[in-house]
Amino acid sequence: MADNVLWIISDDQPRSTLRSMDRTWTRLVEKGVRFRRGYTAMPWCGPARASILTSRYPHDHGCPDNQTHQPFVAQGHDRDTVATRIRGAGYDTGYFGKYMNGLGEDPEYVAPGWGRWVATVGKRGQVNVDGELRDLDGQRPADAFAAERLRTFVERHRDTGPWFAVWGPSIPHDPYRPSAEHRHDFDGVTWDPPALNEADMSDKPSWLRGLPAQDPDRMRDVREGKLEELRDLDDEIGRLLDVLWRTDQLSRTWVFFVSDNGYLLGEHRLFRKEQPYEESAGIPYVVRGPGVAPGTSSAFVSQVDLMPTALDIAGLDPDEGRELSGRSMLQPLRTGDWSSWRRRLLVENTNLDWAMLREGSEAYVEHHETDEWELYDLAADPHQLASIADADVTEQSALVTAMRQARGRALRDLEE
């Protein structure tokens, strides 16, 4: 029987919080591959999710802001996604939880390709179940409802298959409402990273230099809320893995755990996401699957790699019909050999008009609207405290310009 594929997409999760999820660490991270250099395509919820579903970068899918659903559908992108393609390989499909920002304006919508549709809509107490809008009236959180339906979906496939499912919990997105069981787990947690309220901002783009300092107590409170909500997500992941194990499906199921974006908590005087710094653009990225040797990898991986990998697992040619901008991770995951993988990676924000090139230990960022740039050596300066002002960035700039205009195989060629 063909392998199942499960994507878990958390919401606004900093890469640094992964270690706080004990069950996830023991049962996914330690039994799979953790990527130190996993990145979002664009560090903002809606555009990132559009990239995940289509293996298109934002400059290609043309959905630049967080009201993503409407332009995504208007351009017909929902008719060519991982779901519509993988069904061609005989996979049953299901979507559970947060789909795409803007869905609240079209609450009865069901995306093509999904055999089961349990999408949370707008507020946390409302869900769309296969086109029928339900109000949970506070009986239980919508996230818990979606997770329960996902477990039922998995149970029903114990003797059938294969299946592909996406689970998108709205954790750890604000407002933070951890359960009674976990709401005091991180009381008094400290938060004092080296880049918090960075003192010398002279190396940063001009618009950043006059930013006031963030309230460190507020940043600590947000960190606490995220960590406590992630304990709830950790519990749900444990329940889901229990179902996979109990139904003899865990050994033939690929599990991918990522976030839509990271999150800044006062680093460089910034709060939230959207910016080209590691805390915002970097995401947790873990893969567990049949035959995958546990370990860590320094390969550059992106959200756009999820779709081609899923299609490859299903036995499909990822480029059939439309060339994808991501790469299948299947072979290197199975062999552990990443020597032929991409050398460089693009991250961008088409709304704020910046693009970042990651190559080796370097992070090069171009701010096109203000014609400014930053360059960091993350090996020597992991917290991005001092941009290298006297560097010759001609080559990096030319690569960024070319990559911002490319898609599919042409973009992948530029990564070599």
The count of structural domains within the chain is: 1
Residue 359 lies in a domain: no
Over the stretch 212-262, which tens digit does the pLDDT of each residue have? 999 999 999 999 999 999 999 999 999 999 999 999 999 999 999 999 999
Residue 260 lies in a domain: yes
Chain mean pLDDT for the chain: 96
Over the stretch 4-48, which tens digit does the pLDDT of each residue have? 999 999 999 999 999 999 999 999 999 999 999 999 999 999 999
Residue 8 lies in a domain: yes
Kindly report the CATH number assigned to the domain that includes residue 132: 3.40.720.10
Per-residue pLDDT, 124: 57
Residue 58 lies in a domain: yes
| Residue 249 region by backbone torsions, left for phi larger than 0, else alpha for psi between -120 and 50, else beta | alpha
Compute the distance between CA of residue 172 and CA of residue 34 in angstroms, rounded to an integer: 20
Residue 223 lies in a domain: yes
Over the stretch 81-135, which tens digit does the pLDDT of each residue have? 999 999 999 999 999 999 999 999 999 999 999 999 999 996 657 899 999 999 8
What ranges make up the beta strands (E) of 334-383? 344-349, 354-359, 362-367, 372-377
Q: Is the pLDDT of residue 280 over 70?
A: yes
Residue 334, both tokens? 């199975």
Burial of 416 (0-12, 13-18, 19+ CB in 10 A): exposed
Which residue has tokens 């330690």? Answer: 30
Residue 34 lies in a domain: yes
Per-residue pLDDT, 98: 96
Q: Is the pLDDT of residue 54 over 70?
A: yes
Compute the distance between CA of residue 143 and CA of residue 140 in angstroms, rounded to an integer: 8
| 93: containing domain | 4-343
Q: Could you say which DSSP state residue 22 is in?
A: H
Give the pLDDT band of residue 80 (cuts 50, 70, 90).
very high
- State the average pLDDT over residues 143-168: 96
Compute the distance between CA of residue 100 and CA of residue 83 in angstroms, rounded to an integer: 15
Residue 348 lies in a domain: no
- Tell me how far the alpha carbon of residue 294 is from its chain's centroid: 21
Question: What's the chain's length in residues?
Answer: 416
Beta bridge partners of 106: none
- State the average pLDDT over residues 371-392: 97
Output the 3-class SS for 289-310: CCCCCCEEEEEEEEHHHHHHHH
pTM above 0.85, yes or no: yes
Residue 327 lies in a domain: yes
